Amino acid sequence: MDTPPNQFNLIEEFEMDYYKSAGVEPIGNDQRTHYSNQVTKDIIGKDIVLIGWTHILRDKGKIKFLILRDEHGTVQIAIPQAKVPEDVFETSAQLKPETAIAVHGKVVATNQLPSGAEVLPTKIRILNTAERLPIDIVEGKVDIELDTRLNYRVLDLRKPSINAIFRIQHNLVRFAREYLEKNDFVEIHTPKIVAAATEGGANLFEVQYFEKKAYLAQSPQFYKQLMLLAGFGRVFEIAPVFRAEKHNTRRHVNEYTSFDFEMAWISGVEDVMRMEERMLNHSFKKTKEVAASELELLGIDLVVPKVPFKRIKYVEAIDLLNNAGKDLKINDDLDPESEQILGQIFPEKFGTDMVFITHYPLELRPAYTMPSMTDEGMTESFDLTYKGMEITTGSQRIHLYDLLVERFKAKGFNPEDFTFYLDPFKYGAPPHGGLGLGVERLTMQILGIDNIREATLLPRDRDRLTP
């Protein structure tokens, strides 16, 4: 970790009254010099300033141990009455869990901690007081019900092991984006208030848009395609999408982060899968490196999937499932139970838990999906399954106007309702394809999280609109 960023001293005289009436100190007098994870044997004897929260306070009478938590972990502050100024000892007695504090002190050696170092304070300043917490956020305390935790999500996220989930998620997205940028993709931002469904009408949220009816976008599907027709060779978008799923399940939320990319001039759907497997390989590899401490905290040994990922056809997946006791016919959806069974079969049979399932039936795929030239009744499409769950859907798209209109009609849509999307295909649309990856699903599968809400910063489900 780099050295902490400097704060600016912006405390004006007139602001002081606010601090005085709250009984706390302005932060401007405390320039943080180190993060908790930088307090090691290497800096013994140094005078430092730490800023953070009172995580744990152990009162042993003549000595108190304060565990200070900041953005990068925890550090022990030893407060022996005989060795610290009197006011420091007195202030430490006022500390409650989650009091915001600045600690000035000297780094000293200790053989009781793996870091080999702790801090002997010369000054403790209270930056803000904390009321009694409604939930426990110290590791190892009794598990609190998820719903209660989500009610207090802001405090819940202070718990290091919960916070770590989203630092890992940040890195997964960051390095996937990095890979696309290196490969000439342009980041775009498309409307989320839209006039038509892209993935079928079943789970659309309606919006009153002045005098008209509009919808919340289920996917940037049409717009990311149109931007290729607009002359961008490759585009991506990482943004919220909305699905009015009526039932609460462990793998659905009503708003999630969709990681979409779309690429022009492909020779087939294989190009899209190749881009995805390389992007994920890069993202996993870099995340394993950069988020090593967060992964360790969660006890996760992140296995970087080898390129190329295994590919099997939909019909082969159906066979595997039927051999395992299911009774599926062609055109049946691979339901969550089927995905889970495949999640057990794949590692045994193919030695991997990252598998592309390709060539889904026309009936199961949206109207914009390219029919297969090799497999009758099937499409040039795929899902990526990871540890027994679909995390990505993708395909080659139809770029030929007449075929596109025909497929829209075949799905029961009136092409007139989609002219804004269909018309541009009359003017030399490039062959193209792309995919949508669920960021929360990717995170939950990597971290072995059972419920998608835990991998969603502020989840929206059938019953939850706050915080």
Query: Given the rule CB under 6 A, which residues bind ligand AMO?
Result: 199, 219, 221, 243, 245, 252-253, 256, 258, 260, 390-395, 434-436, 438, 440-441, 452
* Residue closer to ligand AMO (CB basis): 36 or 169: 169
Closest CA to 262 of 272, 254, 277: 272
The Cα 224–Cα 229 span in angstroms is: 9
Q: How far is the CB of 417 from ligand AMO (least distance, A)?
A: 18
The residue count of the chain comes to 467
* Residue closer to ligand AMO (CB basis): 76 or 393: 393
* Residue closer to ligand AMO (CB basis): 35 or 259: 259
The Cα 122–Cα 83 span in angstroms is: 9
Encode burial over 205-231: b for 16+ CB neighbours within 10 A, e otherwise: eeeeeeeeebbbbbbbbbbbbbbbbee
* Residue closer to ligand AMO (CB basis): 79 or 238: 238
Closest CA to 295 of 169, 109, 173, 148: 169
Q: How far is the CB of 171 from ligand AMO (least distance, A)?
A: 19
Residue 29 is given by DSSP the state G
Q: How far is the CB of 41 from ligand AMO (least distance, A)?
A: 45
The Cα 122–Cα 126 span in angstroms is: 14
Q: How far is the CB of 83 from ligand AMO (least distance, A)?
A: 54
The Cα 297–Cα 248 span in angstroms is: 29
* Residue closer to ligand AMO (CB basis): 35 or 215: 215
Count CB neighbours of 437 within 10 A: 23
* Residue closer to ligand AMO (CB basis): 11 or 239: 239
The Cα 303–Cα 301 span in angstroms is: 6
The Cα 184–Cα 259 span in angstroms is: 16
* Residue closer to ligand AMO (CB basis): 90 or 333: 333
For tokens 């606010």, name the residue.
18
* Residue closer to ligand AMO (CB basis): 250 or 426: 250
Q: How far is the CB of 217 from ligand AMO (least distance, A)?
A: 10
Q: How far is the CB of 359 from ligand AMO (least distance, A)?
A: 15
Q: How far is the CB of 242 from ligand AMO (least distance, A)?
A: 9
The Cα 456–Cα 70 span in angstroms is: 22
Q: How far is the CB of 57 from ligand AMO (least distance, A)?
A: 40
* H/E stretch holding 297: helix 292-297
Q: How far is the CB of 251 from ligand AMO (least distance, A)?
A: 7
The Cα 464–Cα 299 span in angstroms is: 30
Distance separating the N- and C-terminal Cα atoms of the chain:
31
* H/E stretch holding 290: helix 269-290
* Residue closer to ligand AMO (CB basis): 28 or 200: 200
In this chain, which residue has its C-beta nearest to ligand AMO?
Answer: 438
